[in-house]
Chain A
């Protein structure tokens, strides 16, 4: 989950800045699950979008970026988001290792891509988000290890 503060973007969530894992049962839509649980905990978010996938924990893990509105989750713990190099490999293979900061970096590059390509996304993002994302190299959905 991402929020914009007066000091810049932060990684946050009901459990603070650690990754928030949701289970998706075989009869459920991942997007609906993320939106429903996020809304239950914090109210409807500004934006929910899947940005990458990887195999881990004996399952396929879908990474979602959830952008909170300025008035949501102000009391939650959070950490500032810095820049990170992306994990890369060949044209047909995923990188061998990846850090959580690289998942976030990729999520923000994906968001930057949406902010350029998708009018709906551009429309819901605040000027502060659009200004921040202009600094990122746009990148679409991707397979991460």
Chain B
């Protein structure tokens, strides 16, 4: 399995949770951060909060 296919989970402080591979959680959390918290989250910032799903 490629590294990028690992299943990850990223949890926002508000309780929102995104699961998927790296690209998916980055896309989901970035959209959530922008639309719900007016935050500009980088890929590195999102992945720094990721844990194995």
Contact = CB atoms under 8 A, between A and B. Distances in A.
Contact of A22 (B13, B16, B38, B40): B38
Contacts of B14: 15, 18, 20-21
Task: Classify the secondary structure of A's interface with B.
Answer: loop
A41 B16 CA distance: 15
A132 interface: no
Contacts of A21: 13-14, 37
A23 B35 contact: no
B27 interface: no
17 contacts: A15-B14, A18-B14, A20-B36, A21-B13, A21-B14, A22-B37, A22-B38, A23-B37, A23-B39, A25-B40, A28-B38, A33-B38, A37-B35, A37-B37, A37-B38, A40-B35, A41-B35
A79 interface: no
Interface of B: 13-16, 35-40
Contact of B38 (A15, A18, A23): A23
A24 B36 contact: no
Contacts of B40: 25
A24 B15 contact: no
Nearest to B13: A21
Nearest to B33: A23
B28 to A, nearest CB: 16
A14 interface: yes
A14 B37 contact: no
A141 to B, nearest CB: 22
A37 B15 CA distance: 18
Closest 6 pairs (CB-CB, A-B): A15-B14, A23-B39, A22-B38, A23-B38, A33-B38, A37-B38
A21 B32 CA distance: 12
